[in-house]
Structure 1
Amino acid sequence: TVSVLYWPDTPHCMASTRASDAPADDAVAQLQEADREVEAFIELNRNPDAVTQRDAVRTAVEEFVRRHGAQRRIALVTSGGTVAPLEKQEIRHVTNLSTGQRGAASAEWFLRHGYAVIYFHKTGCLCPFARHFQSGAFLDDVKWDPAAPDAAPTFSDVCAKAMREHRQFVVEGGLLLRVPLHTVVDYQLGMKTILETTRDTLASMEVSNARTMVYLVSAVADFYIPFNELPKDKIDSRPNDPSMTIHLKKVPKALARGLVGRLWGDGAFVTTFKLETDESRIDAKVLKHINGFDNIRLVASNLHATIRSEMKLHDTREPMNPVVIRKPESGELEEELVARVVAKHNEFVEGRW
């Protein structure tokens, strides 16, 4: 049994009162310059028909935060992959693959811990509660009597629980806001819009943005082709040319330059994920990640070979002394992962970080 927790007595001090976190003037100037670069990237490469639209996202997030922000903490969970199109009328693309399993499962556990969740996800990836029905496997567990075709089918315990909790948290509670994305431009635009809107809405309510959890699980593309360099139509497959050369440019980094935790989501609690394929390199990569990104609090790392069974959670105060989290025999790894992240967030909100 999981208790649903609330924090109505949390002091509503503003995040800017954390003197140790307040950036100096030169750092502010660097943040503003980085923000202008990302905004220029968005405006130059945004597809007018994109699934992520700034005004619609801003309105939905503001209404969601105003409804829940005073009584509950807000968790922004990013999930799934991102793509970099190779044509304006997209047929082909370069993609960073992710099913969204970790993000969807984690979002469910944040809901059970009392958070209101903004689920910023790749279209078509797994989603909270719906993930239990998004593969054909669940049909094997549906029981139906062909002799009584009008009788209602019965479902497995897992599916029945998912339906109950979806009604409790989503339909009746309104505690899940889904925001779709497709391209890496959608991701940058959505992150900026969601974080800024959450920050400003909480400030207008005199609620600290330290109560906001930013949980970055998405597989984000590092490279793209500028929109004005994309062909309008599908790239031809020329039978006499056995190869095709593509020139990609680097996507501006929002997290590495402090925008996520120090400007867009000023004062929020940021958790990132690091996936590697070489075990001998993972500790060095995590340390480099932590030293390079001064706006994050936790890094969850794992190997591709054990992505579903084991993970390390690194506290940036003691990065080389991680907690090892393993999938239990019955249950899922995300249950303990989110519980530990929530415990760290408690320390942060209560000023013990």
Structure 2
Amino acid sequence: MSPLGSRGMFYLAAAVSDFYVPWESMAEHKIQSASGPLDMRLTETPKMLSVLRKEWAPFAFCISFKLETDPDILLQKANAAMNKYQMHIVVANLLATYKQEVIVVTKKGKDSIRKHGQHDDVEEQLVNLIVEKHSEYLEKPEAS
């Protein structure tokens, strides 16, 4: 990615699980239900967005996603991700309405993208807006 500089773009749409079971904790064979209740200890998944922005591709245009179930914390979490990970865009959406509406959060504010008709979708509108924002970034990378 280094040769691409600001022309590079990361579209980090896949949600990574917040927790995982370490290999050394996994059972080698099928867990028997006759053994009684199962206690499982999960480990936090390391956050890699800071590493991506600071070390791997500091000039690339970065878009991440924030999916929540609670509308009261959605924008708060999206703004926190913008600041903490230095994202150029955070696409915020709610699990209940993610196919109908997304909120695109940038340093300059937010844009809402909504599905208008039965055959319409938010994805095409989202990609068009991201292309527009990336073009702005290429013109003035320090302002984005």
Q: Distance in 1 between matches of 2:116 and 2:85?
A: 32
Q: Distance in 2 between matches of 1:219 and 1:327?
A: 22
Q: Which residue of 2 aligns with 1:254?
A: 48
- How far apart are 1:288 and its partner, in Å? 1.8
- How far apart are 1:314 and its partner, in Å? 0.6
Deviation sequence 1:30-52 (CA, Å, 0-9, x none): xxxxxxxxxxxxxxxxxxxxxxx
Shift >6 Å, 4+ stretches: none
* 1:214 and 2:10 matched: yes
* 1:310 and 2:106 matched: no
- Taking only aligned residues, the RMSD between alpha carbons, in angstroms, comes to 1.6
1:27-66 alignment runs, 5 A limit = none
Which residue of 283, 287, 290 maps to 2:75?
283
Q: Which residue of 2 aligns with 1:299?
A: 90
Q: Distance in 1 between matches of 2:45 and 2:70?
A: 24
Deviation sequence 1:100-128 (CA, Å, 0-9, x none): xxxxxxxxxxxxxxxxxxxxxxxxxxxxx
* Structure with greater proportional strand content: 2
Q: Which residue of 1 aligns with 2:65?
A: 273
Q: Which residue of 2 aligns with 1:24?
A: none
Q: Which residue of 1 aligns with 2:39?
A: 245
Do 1:223 and 1:250's aligned partners in 2 also have CA atoms closer than 8 Å? yes
Larger Rg: 1
Q: Distance in 2 between matches of 1:262 and 1:348?
A: 17
TM-score by length of 2: 0.89
Question: Runs of 5+ in structure 1 lacking a partner?
Answer: 1-197
Do 2:79 and 2:105's aligned partners in 1 also have CA atoms closer than 8 Å? no
Which residue of 11, 22, 46 maps to 1:226?
22
- How far apart are 1:266 and its partner, in Å? 2.6
* Structure with greater proportional helix content: 1
Deviation sequence 1:179-204 (CA, Å, 0-9, x none): xxxxxxxxxxxxxxxxxxx33xxx3x
Identity of aligned residues (%): 33
SS of 1:305's equivalent in the other structure is: coil
Do 1:217 and 1:273's aligned partners in 2 also have CA atoms closer than 8 Å? yes
Question: Runs of 5+ in structure 2 lacking a partner?
Answer: none
Read off the aligned partner of 2:104 and give its amino acid letter.
L
Q: Distance in 2 between matches of 1:262 and 1:213?
A: 14
Q: Distance in 2 between matches of 1:232 and 1:244?
A: 15
SS of 2:91's equivalent in the other structure is: strand
Read off the aligned partner of 1:279 and give its amino acid letter.
P
Q: Which residue of 1 aligns with 2:115?
A: 327
- How far apart are 1:215 and its partner, in Å? 0.6
- How far apart are 1:229 and its partner, in Å? 2.4
1:98-177 alignment runs, 5 A limit = none
- How far apart are 1:341 and its partner, in Å? 0.5
* 1:349 and 2:141 matched: no
- How far apart are 1:325 and its partner, in Å? 0.3
1:80-91 alignment runs, 5 A limit = none
TM-score by length of 1: 0.38
- How far apart are 1:328 and its partner, in Å? 2.7
SS of 2:96's equivalent in the other structure is: helix
